[in-house]
Amino acid sequence: MTKTPIEYAEWTTLKTHAQDMKKHTLAGHFANNPARQEELTKTVDMLRFDYSKNHITSETLALFKTYSEAVGLNDLRGKLLGGEVVNQSENRPALHTALRARDPIVSSGGEPVAERVRSERAKLFDVAGKLRAGEIVAADGAPFKHIIFLGIGGSSLGPALLMKALGYSNTSAFDVHIVSNIDGHALMPVLDACEAARTLLIVASKTFTTTETLTNADTVRRWMKDAGVSDLNAHLMGVTAAPEKAKEYGVPADNVLPFAEWVGGRYSLWSAISAPVVFAYGAQVFEEFLAGADAVDQHFAKAPFEDNIPILSACLDVWYTNFWDAQTRGLFVYDDRLGLLPDYLQQLETESNGKDRTQDGQDVTWQTSPILWGGVGTDCQHSVFQLMHQGTHLVPVEFIGTKNADHTESLHHRKLLANMFAQSAALMRGRSVEEATEKLIAKGVNSDTLDHLAASKSFRGDRPSTTILLERLTPRALGNLIAFYEHKTFVAGMLVGINPYDQMGVELGKELATELEGVIAGDTALPEGYDASTKALIDYLQS
Ligand code: F6P
């Protein structure tokens, strides 16, 4: 059995250090070290990270460095990037970095990697070029206008994020609709908005077995048939790691855009899963996105611990969740175009690290992934920020914004960033009861209400945050950002001793849903083992 995190003396040292750190304030750390901001600000390619408003000192980082050495982080990183098996339960490597490397590793476990990546990308770009040039056409010989892209989880969150993030600065060659949910309320409005004869259907599923995606695909195909499309398969493309299944479904071989098994679903936006982005905005945009990720891969592989942003951010997560009792992390984007980033990262981080067993099956008695939540600033300031400032939970926050906007209304951008900076400053600074009292007296508040009002208007402060600024929201910067979070997630997984690359926790619910569908339809009886609550819910549906 491998040693678990809590069995390391270095873990215990971190715990003791946290007790000591709780006696200090963020403001105190700044006062004690005039160079703090500079020391804790790191830049990589188009990203700037300011970690200085966190409850850490150089000692904290030194202790984490010692702990990471004890768990063998450098070797584990080497295994990941070298294409060794890091996903033990599924016995495969996690080679998403090969999809964006200028020089991908040649092979892994005897399988070609570089050659495969190049040929799959060449096919993606070739199909994109032909579609955009109107050389791949609909059954009636006219070009496609609409794209309905069906996929869920890792097979949709990435393209949806990219379409929105890059849509402001790039003109789309197609009217793209991404549908993930099996809820007909999601699909029907899309069908209403598209003309079947002009619609290309892309079915994206790594396994090509996912019920939501295939049910939606069947419905779209029926809609096309009902509308008189003569050759349904001419309107169909598949993106998958199971090409044979896609072909069985009817996707013509030329229309299958494959990717490898060793690309995890939530790491697949570097592959043909991003087909709608390439079709809509062109290959060059996608290449810049890949190059941005490659730049961060190089950084992750080579930068020393003290400067390595994925490693530092992972340490912060482990620090707060395990030693400061934080159960969640808030992530607020101050760029509307990044509105889907919190959703995207929720899958990346929580499906990767939300686990209660170690790699070798031991029970976890420490914390693994924090619950990631968040939204868009400034909107969230008028909803959940009350809890962030005065609530009873410690919520370490990440603020993400862009230095340069792509619109010309500088007033808006100035106000947006002023708000972002103000929030992190306010979370840290707080306001004492005395300060609140003074303000109230200045406003002429009378003594009857002064005390309780001053208490309500005070803020304990000392709440940690990290500020991440993109120089500009370009495809490259977005590649930087997502690759950063991928590596951060990997490192956090290694520090807490779990396998970030499987997701067995989603299976039980899927199995039961399949059983219950038959029961709800009245085709089968409710199997043994169900509870009275579930039975009553089904009875109610059938009544
Ligand atoms: O439900 C979890 C999951 O397996 C994700 O990991 C994955 O991204 C998603 O379902 C979709 O799977 P597929 O691409 O095979 O349809």
The pLDDT profile of the chain, 543 residues, written as one tens digit per residue, is 889 999 999 999 999 999 999 999 999 999 999 999 999 999 999 999 999 999 999 999 999 999 999 999 999 999 999 999 999 999 999 999 999 999 999 899 989 999 999 999 999 999 999 999 999 999 999 999 999 999 999 999 999 999 999 999 999 999 999 999 999 999 999 999 999 999 999 999 999 999 999 999 999 999 999 999 999 999 999 999 999 999 999 999 999 999 999 999 999 999 999 999 999 999 999 999 999 999 999 999 999 999 999 999 999 999 999 999 999 999 999 999 999 999 999 999 999 999 999 999 999 999 999 999 999 999 999 999 999 999 999 999 999 999 999 999 999 999 999 999 999 999 999 999 999 999 999 999 888 899 999 999 999 999 999 999 999 999 999 999 999 999 999 999 999 999 999 999 999 999 999 999 999 999 999 999 999 999 999 999 999
Cα–Cα distances in angstroms (integers) from residue 286 to residues 120, 241, 275, in the given order:
14, 20, 10
b/e 50-79 (16+ beta carbons within 10 angstroms → b):
bbbbbbbbeebbebbbebbeebebeebbeb
**pLDDT at residue 424 in the model:** 98
H helices, E strands: number in the chain: 22, 13
Determine the atom of ligand 1 nearest the C-alpha atom of 268. 8
DSSP category for residue 202: E
Q: Helix crossing, 58-71 with 73-81: angle to 10°? A: 60
Pick from 210, 345, 508 the residue to mutate for probing ligand 1's pocket: most ligand atoms within 8 Å of its CB. Answer: 210
* H or E stretch at 148: strand 146-150
Regarding the beta carbon of 152 and ligand 1, being less than 6 Å apart is answered yes
Take atom 2 of ligand 1 and give the residue whose Cα is closest.
Answer: 506
Please name the residues in contact with 451: beta carbons below 8 A apart, sequence gap of 6 or more: 437
Measured distance CA(473)–CA(162) in Å, rounded: 11
Measured distance CA(274)–CA(289) in Å, rounded: 11
Regarding the beta carbon of 265 and ligand 1, being less than 6 Å apart is answered yes
Helix, strand, coil proportions of the chain in percent (round to 5)? Answer: 55, 15, 30
* H or E stretch at 300: helix 283-302
Measured distance CA(519)–CA(542) in Å, rounded: 10
Regarding the beta carbon of 153 and ligand 1, being less than 6 Å apart is answered yes
Is 288 exposed, middle or buried, given 0-12, 13-18 or 19+ CB atoms closer than 10 A?
A: middle
Sheet-wide strand order for 256-258: 175-179, 146-150, 199-204, 236-240, 256-258
**pLDDT at residue 139 in the model:** 97
Measured distance CA(401)–CA(378) in Å, rounded: 11
| Whether 437 contacts 462, CB under 8 Å | no
**pLDDT at residue 27 in the model:** 97
Q: Give catalytic residues, as residue numbers.
A: 351, 382, 510
Take atom 5 of ligand 1 and give the residue whose Cα is closest.
Answer: 153
